[in-house]
Amino acid sequence: MSTSQKKTARGLFTLGIATVIALTPSFTSSAAEASSRPWMNTSLSPEQRAAKLVSAMDLSQKIHMLSGTKLTGPHTPATGYIPPIPELGIPEFVQSDGPAGVRNGKNHATKFPAPLTYASSWDPAIAGLEGRVAGEEARALGTDQLYGPGFNIARNPLGGRGFEYYGEDPYLSGTMATANVKGMQSAGVIATLKHYVTNNQETSRLISNSEVPERALHEIYMKPFEMAVEQAHPGSVMCSYNSINGTHGCSNYYTLTKYLRHAWGFNGYVVTDFPASWSTEDYKNGLNVEMPQTFTSLEPAVRLALKQGRLSEKDIDARVQETLTVMFRFGIFDRTKNIHPINVDRGDTAAQKIAEQGAVLLKNQNAALPLSDKTARHIAVFGDSAKFAVGGGGSSNVKPTKTDTALDEITKRSHGAKVTYSLGTDLQKAAREAKKADTAIVFVTNLTMEAADRPTIKLLPHQNKLIEKVAAANKNTIVVVNTGGPIAMPWLNNVAAVLNMWQPGQAGGKATAALLYGDVNPSGHLTQTFPQEDGQWPANTREQFPGKPLGLKPIYSEGVFVGYRWYVANNQIPLFPFGYGLSYTTFAYGTPRLYKTSGAKNAPIKVTFTVTNTGKRAGATVPQIYIGKPSQQGIPVPPKELAGFRKIYLCPGETKTVTITVEPRQLAYWNTQADRFVVMPGLYRIYLGSNVNNTPSMVTYTVR
């Protein structure tokens, strides 16, 4: 009986798998082995090695590679796992969750801030840092592949996994995902783009059908995946639970083969969400591995599909070869796993830096922040999230290597000031405590997690009442927000400052204290628009989100008018616009000028301008370039679309000249008749500013 037959016989039981792992922890090649197993010849390309191995496999062994299982046990804990085939020298293939650090169900690893945090840094180096450190920790823990980054578009602020994604703009999301993948794969760990595609809600996510116009599908939802595939060459893509225009995400030839592989040149392998395969024929349409194994990938089901002609062995060979090519490409066949303790301090330092760089200062009236050792001699702290490390639930729920709290770190940083704490449930007592203090700091949070959408952007009533009472008693009230997405702020006009820390992870306490005291200057900017109230957003009807009936049929009738595109087009004034973020210093942008503007459709646009730090503190700003496309041929276009950005660090009084290149793709729209991106001739408006609603400079560019 072959290894794959044994696997089928034992079904999903993991006891036998654990035994196999213990006996065959890794495989190394030798001269004799290279002779008997030519696929172990490291002088061959990964593609050549995979082809030789597939030609030596019997059908059962090939079917073995079409699926995996869940494994959390004493040997190499994993979220997803393909057992080894010792007789062929195929090693175990260990996979773990990874959007915010390594989560395998057993090991401790760095609990990074929510991915929305490092997207809010608007600094690809920060996304790359998270990827690199997470990848290093994955290698140390024996993991070959991480399920991350996740970067579906935040179509609606109520989406439950908005904290785990990069925001509402495809260009920004694709840029940050590209950096994260490069960082992760630099450690020799396979990155996994997820969830491909239109996985924009948690309601009925297993069985919903996203009805998306073709233009929106390409311009908004597929675009960030296309960018990451073409620029970062990820080893894997995870197909989504939901259907796309009537065809399941893991069965979808249009998305998985026509575009992912053929148009974009993806050379990795496709793995399902857990589980998301509906038919054995999925392997014909582009799926490589079902995880974990269900009826669709059981050997009898595959053999029946072959017998009935619904699947060919050529299809199986292609899928298995693609998977094995990735394993060879990342050295999984050629290295002995060196499982060892992770570098806890390195991870914690990285987590703190990411939390600091992604925090967004939303309000700072009369320079209430940063806190001063001279004036803040008595600080009253309120709210439960001041006393625990805040993170999202589900795939991002990493077991931290260490934790801190904002309350403890503020107390340490206060240099002997009196710091009091109250949960704030007794509102009258909270008001009395606030009145005694020089400064009051109220911490608030909301729950965001996988598998459930949010019912509202409002905080729980007792949190709003606490802020109102404390603010009425102390004019120097600061609100620290720990959230996974936009929230309403009915108390905004009554508080002195608002610092949005998102879900800051295991080092969030140190990061919060550093920002409050000005040891670090806030420089994050919003990647999601903050509405003023419930319903002030695109996709605001039940038909659109989560879809009728019961979330089964979300209709994307807003088209390309997602996020800020909708607000600007409809003259809607949000609470805080996309791209918004304050600093403890000030900046001035010079007048932009265009460089090398040939006017040809395939020519990039170079926008050059100066940035000056006009304040008294060192800090960073994010100049943003938006494009207004010509409205011709009856094609509706958003008034502004993000086309470029750069994070710039400056000392007080320092000026730098900045050039941002706008690629032709950022000028293009998806032409459904031509089935491709097209740059229209006409007048393009190029805006420069600090957020989408603050673009005082504009120049024009004509495409002939």
Between CA 356 and CA 511 the distance in angstroms is 5
Length of the chain: 704
Please name which of 338, 330, 336, 237 lies closest in space to residue 49, comparing C-alpha atoms.
330
End-to-end Cα separation, the chain, in angstroms: 68
Between CA 518 and CA 515 the distance in angstroms is 5
Instruction: Convert 459-497 to b/e letters by CB count within 10 Å (16 or more is b).
Output: beeebbebbbbbbebbebbbbbbbbbbbbbbebbeebbb
Return the CA Rg of the chain.
26
22: helix, strand or coil: helix
Between CA 42 and CA 353 the distance in angstroms is 39
Contacts of 354 (CB under 8 A, 6+ apart): 112, 113, 117, 118, 121, 126, 129, 130, 505
Between CA 514 and CA 356 the distance in angstroms is 8
Q: Which amino acid is at 652?
A: P
Helices (H) and strands (E) in the chain, counts: 21, 28
CA distances from 93 to 3, 75, 278, 332, 338 (A): 15, 12, 23, 8, 15
Residue pair 696/237 in contact by the 8 Å Cβ criterion: no
Three-class secondary structure assignment of 565-628: HHHHHCCCCCCECCCCCECCCCEEECCCEEECCCCCCCCCEEEEEEEEECCCCCEEECCEEEEE
The residue written with tokens 């960018």 in the block is: 227
418: helix, strand or coil: strand
Residue pair 156/558 in contact by the 8 Å Cβ criterion: no
Point out the catalytic residue in the list 97, 144, 169, 273.
Answer: 273
**273 in active site:** yes
Contacts of 541 (CB under 8 A, 6+ apart): none
Please name which of 464, 474, 493 lies closest in space to residue 365, comparing C-alpha atoms.
493
Active-site positions read: 273
